[in-house]
Amino acid sequence: MSTRRIIIAIVLALLAFLGIYTWNQRTGQWDWLAANTGLEVAGGVLRAVHGVGDSIGAVWKRYLALIDVQEENDRLRDEVARLHQELIASRESQAELERLRGLLRLEVPQGWSVVGARVLASRIGPNASLETLLLARGYLDGAAPGTAVAGREGLVGRVYKAGPGTSMVLLLSDVGSRVAVVAARSRVQGILAGGGAGNLMEMRFVKQNAPLEEGELLLTSGLDAAYPKGIPVARVRSVKAGPAPTLEVTAEPLVHFGALEEVLLYERPAGLFMPEAGDVYVRSPRDIVSEAPRYAAPAE
Instruction: Say how far apart CA 180 and CA 222 lie, in whole Å.
Output: 7
Under DSSP, the state recorded for 286 is: H
- Residue 295 in domain: no
The confidence band for 206, taking pLDDT boundaries of 50, 70 and 90, is very high
Task: Tell whether 75 and 176 lie within a shared domain.
Answer: no
Q: Is the pLDDT of residue 27 over 80?
A: no
**pLDDT tens digit string along 235-262?**
999 999 877 788 999 999 999 998 898 8
The confidence band for 295, taking pLDDT boundaries of 50, 70 and 90, is very low
226: exposed, middle or buried (Cβ count in 10 Å: 0-12, 13-18, 19+) = buried
Amino acid at 257: F
Q: The pTM is what?
A: 0.59
Instruction: Say how far apart CA 136 and CA 103 lie, in whole Å.
Output: 17
Nearest Cα neighbor of 169 from 225, 142, 131 is 131
Instruction: Say how far apart CA 31 and CA 40 lie, in whole Å.
Output: 14
Higher pLDDT, 126 or 186: 186
Final residue of a structural domain among 105, 128, 159 = 105
| Helices and strands (DSSP H and E) totals, the chain | 3, 12
Task: Tell whether 141 and 267 lie within a shared domain.
Answer: yes
- Residue 300 in domain: no
Beta pairing class for 217-220 and 113-122: unpaired
- CATH number at 275 reads 2.40.10.340
Task: Tell whether 173 and 130 lie within a shared domain.
Answer: yes
Task: Tell whether 158 and 248 lie within a shared domain.
Answer: yes
Task: Tell whether 187 and 265 lie within a shared domain.
Answer: yes
Task: Tell whether 172 and 258 lie within a shared domain.
Answer: yes
Domain with 51, as residue range(s), is 1-105
- Sequence-distant (6+) residues with CB within 8 A of 292 are none
Nearest Cα neighbor of 235 from 255, 254, 222 is 254
- Residue 147 in domain: yes
Amino acid at 33: L
**pLDDT tens digit string along 32-79?**
555 555 555 556 666 676 677 677 777 777 776 777 777 888 888 888
Task: Tell whether 286 and 164 lie within a shared domain.
Answer: yes
Higher pLDDT, 258 or 105: 258
- Residue 125 in domain: yes
Q: What share of residues in the chain are helix, strand, coil (percent, to 5)?
A: 40, 25, 35
Final residue of a structural domain among 105, 125, 150 = 105
- C-alpha Rg value of the chain to the nearest Å: 47
Per-residue pLDDT, averaged over 107-113, amounts to 71
Task: Tell whether 123 and 26 lie within a shared domain.
Answer: no
Q: Is the pLDDT of residue 155 over 80?
A: yes
Total domain count, the chain = 2
Instruction: Say how far apart CA 60 and CA 276 lie, in whole Å.
Output: 89
Q: Which of 54-58, 75-79, 99-103, 221-225 has the lowest mean pLDDT?
A: 99-103
Alpha helices for the chain (secondary structure H): 3-27, 29-104, 285-290
Instruction: Say how far apart CA 61 and CA 173 lie, in whole Å.
Output: 71
Task: Tell whether 94 and 160 lie within a shared domain.
Answer: no
Asked if 284 and 176 touch (Cβ cutoff 8 Å), the reply is yes
Instruction: Say how far apart CA 168 and CA 275 lie, in whole Å.
Output: 19
Task: Tell whether 165 and 246 lie within a shared domain.
Answer: yes
